[in-house]
Structure 1
């Protein structure tokens, strides 16, 4: 409970920081990307769209975020509902492989999760933001060290956005909210497919 109160207080600060970030819009062409998932499988948007009618692409902050874990768990618990509609789910995070493994252990995620090692996917989808030094120090004081979690000193996190991308490569739905507590529910995603 204490951690949730902490995250709520920090939400206000981060919401202000990410206000300028807009993300891509419905109707935009989805940037193509390639990554390696937690199982060593090469995942490309192009190949996922060749094999499936839609891709649900979501960005999450890290295994230390209870809102991220709750969202990933919800996606995993309803994965059959999504795959029955010929959807391929891809998660993207700046966290290291070791921390992705912690996320999977916490959430039982069985879909592809990619480490965005150089923030390239986040930048392409315009969901990346740099945490200022004061906020980084606050997080560190609460036991969240982004440098250790992400394996770099950039202090970059994604706005936890979700995109539905159709077979033509167009974005057909976007959930983009700088308040990291708000996520697209599976029910909402299913209604947009």
Structure 2
């Protein structure tokens, strides 16, 4: 479930570049570049790799189709951001569509690649009346540590009781053997998430219109698979075109 880098190389790749570092193109290109840089570097034993593969297969079986679907109403929530301020989803929706992204934590390179790619598209999101909100199981202090050097362009919210991950049908408990492999290689999920919380979300992205309807989504237990920012833009353009055709009514419907 974790990538195959050893602890030294892993930490270097995770934190050497800030979140705003320029990367080529959108997520798929950034992913390919990252995988090329990290190819062939592994400190995981054969037994540890077997644990990782078993956990990956078990998760795919237990959560075969994660995430709420297009046409469903997005569950409302209020969560604290990195500064401890409450953010209410349906208050945000009063201002326009929301791109809601669930990510695993500051330690996850694939999450950081995806957030970087989405951040590059923020001007387009804003031009289409939308805002980006990220949700993570990690504590606010970890989010603040991750984003303290960044301009505050979007909120990062902490799902401290896992209720939002559960409502969006993304949550899973990390296999104990896998958690032990993580710890041996320098990643203690409890340190990031808090006591008793060996939980993660299957990464997911949801484009939500002002009525709270999911118009586009992507979620997968394969943490390398993410929704391309271009797909997000397309969904937002569809919502905007509907609003322009029917200016007296908020956009709604099943969309993409």
Alignment of 1:93 with 2:136, yes or no, is yes
Quickly say closer, same or farther: Cα 1:106–1:126, change in 2 above 3 A: farther
RMSD over aligned Cα atoms:
2.2
Structure-1 separation of matches of 2:135 and 2:53: 20
TM-score when scaled to structure 1? 0.90
What are structure 1's unaligned runs of at least 5 residues? none
Quickly say closer, same or farther: Cα 1:71–1:12, change in 2 above 3 A: farther
Quickly say closer, same or farther: Cα 1:189–1:12, change in 2 above 3 A: farther
SS in 2 for 1:14: helix
Can you list the C-alpha shifts for 1:87-140, whole angstroms capped at 9, x where unaligned? 121100010112112331577662011000000110110100000100100111
Alignment of 1:146 with 2:189, yes or no, is yes
What are structure 2's unaligned runs of at least 5 residues? 11-37, 237-256
Quickly say closer, same or farther: Cα 1:11–1:153, change in 2 above 3 A: same
Q: Which has the higher contact order (CA 8 A, sep 6+)?
A: 1
User: What's the counterpart of residue 26 of structure 2?
Assistant: none
1:72–1:109 Cα contact (<8 Å) kept: no
Q: Which moved more, 1:119-128 or 1:10-19?
A: 10-19
User: What's the counterpart of residue 58 of structure 1?
Assistant: 101
Count of matched residue positions in the alignment of Structure 1 and Structure 2: 191
User: What's the counterpart of residue 74 of structure 1?
Assistant: 117
SS in 1 for 2:135: strand
Q: How does 1:16-165 map to 2 (within 5 A)?
A: 16-21=58-63, 22-52=66-96, 54-105=97-148, 110-165=153-208
SS in 1 for 2:82: coil
SS in 1 for 2:100: strand
TM-score when scaled to structure 2? 0.69
Shift of 1:72: 1.2
1:63–1:100 Cα contact (<8 Å) kept: yes
Structure-1 separation of matches of 2:60 and 2:180: 18
